[in-house]
Chain A
Amino acid sequence: MAEKNSKLIMIVDDDPDYLFQLQFQIEKMGFEVVTAESQREAEQLIEKVKPDLAILDLMMENEDSGFILSHKFKRKYPDMPIIIATAVSSETGMSFGLNTDVERKWIKADLYLEKGIRPDQLHREIVKLLKL
């Protein structure tokens, strides 16, 4: 299955091990992967590559780095699907999703995922967003 979808996925997370794990899993699904370890790095990377989908951590150098990046990415590539993956709600008790129109308007992302999701679930979501 590796050959038929050479889509490029950008992963941004400030934990190098989470990045490594996600990259390993997504490459195994047959996608190509580019990574960035910070909001700053991601902002530079998006100038050089045009991913087909991006998976962003929420809290990096800023508490809302993921939202900021999402906003900027959408301005540059309005059709690129964006997943925000975070452990925020399990760590802080804060919870938000993309269930209401207000939230969808405010959070410029297509999908909001909890970290620790199983690879097969993640695969399904990616395939859905990429309309494969």
Chain B
Amino acid sequence: MESIDLLVVDDEPGIRSGIERILRNFTVSFPFIDEEISYNVIMAATGEEAIDIIKQKPPAIVLLDNKLPGIQGVDVLDYINSNVPNVLVMMITSYASLDLAVKATNIGAYDFVPKPFTPQELKTSVENITKHYLLRRMTRKLHREGKQVRFQFLTVLSHELKSPLNAVEGYLKMMQNKEAGDSIDGYMEFIDRSLARVKSMRGLIMDLLDLTHIESDKRSRTLREIDLTLVARTSVETMMPMAIQRDVTITLDADEPQVVLADSDDMEILFNNLISNAVKYNVSGGWVKCKVLREKSFVCICVSDSGIGIEQEDISKLFNEFTRIKNPMSKGVSGSGLGLSIVKRIAEMYGAEIKVESTPGKGSTFSIFIPVPSVDQLNEGI
């Protein structure tokens, strides 16, 4: 049970205690929130007193009479608007001054309740304003968290972008100072290592472009019927040179067309990431098997390898941004740490499920189950 502060500002003691009585045992609940909400009623007889209370600890909601002995209700409202705009105000007002109440809502009161009111009328009004308060609170929270996540991403990203620059700069300075002697031959390892860092930085930038593609097209994405078998074949061909270089064989087991509604770029990114991982984290003489097959109402993309495998405890970390599982086996394999987080984002976008099976030292299988569109969806083309 969560209790929220509700301040009643009215110069009539009868109204104050009446409201307190009505709300004492009143609780509300909403489908979007787990806890029931009750009210902690605080009372003030004048506007001045109300402002003092608000200064000390702003309540969630203020029930505010306009006609007060000293400063008027609208003055209190004005104070709230300019100092604690998150506090929601409901004006209590007699029928005679309805136009004033309307004016008050125009200058920032959330609502008004006309006097005299029945307990039920008060409860309904309070329930409404509470709902508004809670929704706003949730939105603010989500907003903050969204920003937080973005900020974290940028912090890590800038680190990931700076490290290769620092490394290359280090080698260049060593060459500038001729730390390995006068012959260029002494610097070959520096140069090779610099080039490797430049290459991995380029990889990171390509992955970032993929991420941008996913993010920016989220809304305007046009889905088409595409044949995943065809996408798989293209991707296998793309990865073939890298596989030959590492002495890994890739086979594709997909004969029939498997149609889903998707963006072909997304699907290509998906396949490329899975297959390139399977090739990279493999052993010399190893294999990669790629399958595209229909399983009930899903098309299953399945990429298995004879590679180094993943410890059970590391599997949950795999899909986080900039996570690279470090162990003696993965040492020397370069990667941006973004590939699988991209795969996860795409999968989520298509309501697809990802399954990972792995045995360290034996190999891994990544399966992605993409829902097959119904006949209706296909006719509409979405």
**Does B158 lie at the interface of the complex (its beta carbon under 8 Å from any beta carbon of A)?**
yes
List of B residues within 8 angstroms of A87 by Cβ: 162, 166
**Does A20 lie at the interface of the complex (its beta carbon under 8 Å from any beta carbon of B)?**
yes
Q: Are A116 and B166 in contact (CB under 8 A)?
A: yes
List of B residues within 8 angstroms of A65 by Cβ: none
8 A Cβ contacts from A79-132 to B: 87, 91-92, 115-116, 119
**Does A64 lie at the interface of the complex (its beta carbon under 8 Å from any beta carbon of B)?**
no
**Does A24 lie at the interface of the complex (its beta carbon under 8 Å from any beta carbon of B)?**
yes
8 A Cβ contacts from B180-224 to A: 180, 193, 197
Q: Are B167 and A91 in contact (CB under 8 A)?
A: no
The residue of chain B having its C-beta at the shortest distance from the C-beta of A92 within the complex is B155
- Of B159, B162, B171, B326, the contact of A21 (CB 8 Å cutoff): B171
Bitwise interface map of A from 11 to 27 toward B, beta carbon under 8 Å scored 1, else 0:
00011011011001100
8 A Cβ contacts from B13-50 to A: none
The total of Cβ contacts below 8 Å across the A-B interface reads: 39
Q: Are A28 and B170 in contact (CB under 8 A)?
A: no
List of B residues within 8 angstroms of A119 by Cβ: 177, 179
List of B residues within 8 angstroms of A38 by Cβ: 326
Tell me the bound Cα distance from A38 to B327 in angstroms. Answer: 10
Q: A15-B163, A91-B159 are in contact. Are A21 and B170 (CB under 8 A)?
A: yes
Q: Are B179 and A25 in contact (CB under 8 A)?
A: yes
List of B residues within 8 angstroms of A18 by Cβ: 166-167, 170
Q: Are B167 and A15 in contact (CB under 8 A)?
A: yes
Q: Are B166 and A115 in contact (CB under 8 A)?
A: yes
How many Å from the CB of B334 to the closest CB on chain A? 10
- Of A28, A37, A115, the contact of B179 (CB 8 Å cutoff): A28
**Does B174 lie at the interface of the complex (its beta carbon under 8 Å from any beta carbon of A)?**
yes
Bitwise interface map of B from 317 to 359 toward A, beta carbon under 8 Å scored 1, else 0:
0000000001000010000000000000000000000000000
The residue of chain B having its C-beta at the shortest distance from the C-beta of A17 within the complex is B167
How many Å from the CB of B281 to the closest CB on chain A? 17
Q: Are A20 and B166 in contact (CB under 8 A)?
A: no
Tell me the bound Cα distance from A17 to B331 in angstroms. Answer: 13
The residue of chain A having its C-beta at the shortest distance from the C-beta of B326 within the complex is A38
List of B residues within 8 angstroms of A14 by Cβ: 326
- Of A24, A37, A91, A115, the contact of B174 (CB 8 Å cutoff): A24
- The 9 lowest CB-CB distance pairs between A and B, nearest first, are A17-B167, A21-B170, A15-B163, A17-B193, A17-B197, A21-B174, A15-B167, A38-B326, A91-B159
Beyond A91-B159, A91-B162, 20 additional pairs, beta carbon < 8 A: A14-B326, A15-B163, A15-B166, A15-B167, A17-B167, A17-B193, A18-B170, A21-B167, A21-B170, A25-B179, A37-B326, A38-B326, A61-B326, A87-B162, A91-B158, A92-B155, A116-B169, A116-B170, A119-B177, A119-B179
Using CB atoms and an 8 Å cutoff, list the residues of chain B in contact with chain A. Answer: 155, 158-159, 162-163, 166-167, 169-171, 174, 177, 179-180, 193, 197, 326, 331
Name 14 A/B residue pairs within 8 A (Cβ), A-sorted.
Answer: A14-B326, A15-B167, A17-B167, A17-B170, A17-B171, A21-B171, A37-B326, A37-B331, A38-B326, A61-B326, A91-B162, A116-B169, A116-B170, A119-B179
